[in-house]
Amino acid sequence: MRIVLVGPPGAGKGTQAAYLAKNLSIPHISTGDLFRANISQGTDLGKQARAYMDAGQLVPDEVTIAMAKDRMSQPDAVNGFLLDGFPRNVGQAEALDEMLKSEGVTLDAVLDLEVPEDEVVKRIAGRRICRNDSAHVFHVTYNPPKAEGVCDTCGGELYQRDDDSEETVRTRLEVYHTQTEPIIDYYRAQGLVVTISALGKVEDVTKRSMEALKKDREG
């Protein structure tokens, strides 16, 4: 299957993408991973992206599109893929359509993970990270430490990242509504959108997603 995964910050796209890709036996292609791989490998595209990033500028669509095209041409993606973070706007969605059309294939579904805005803010603004090890992550509501402000694992200080503050989260949501959300209408016009509630346990969201994709494919 060829799937695009969309949803606001805090919807759990990365987590769901990993589970879904494993269940569907297709590669999970994340924009973040694409950038990191190209930059660390020193590819021409990576050097271009790095130059923009170092200058504090957004990486142009054409560079992102070229990275995605190169990744989707790899052998493991021939029979399908799950795109996470791409396309990010309607221009990229149109470019993706052209890419797939040139290969004689189409998308099977666009999975829209739906989460109320207040829940997104609660999820992200409640995160606390250990200063000693960023892999130690807690949440003031869903996974609180035994002692407030102290990491259960190593005793390090827990802190809130600047980009996890409520103000920053609401700004990120506004960017999502303005730039990315329009692709849902774009794909809905093609009859590709499958909307799933991303509330509840991770495994429940995965199960709902798999059932909806199966039903969509059979339908």
Which residues belong to the active site?
13, 88, 127, 161, 172
Cβ(89)–Cβ(187) under 8 Å? no
Residue indicated by tokens 């669509």? 61
Q: What is the DSSP letter of 137?
A: E
Cβ(84)–Cβ(5) under 8 Å? yes
Query: Which stretches within 55-196 are classed as H helix?
Result: 61-72, 90-102, 117-125, 166-175, 182-188
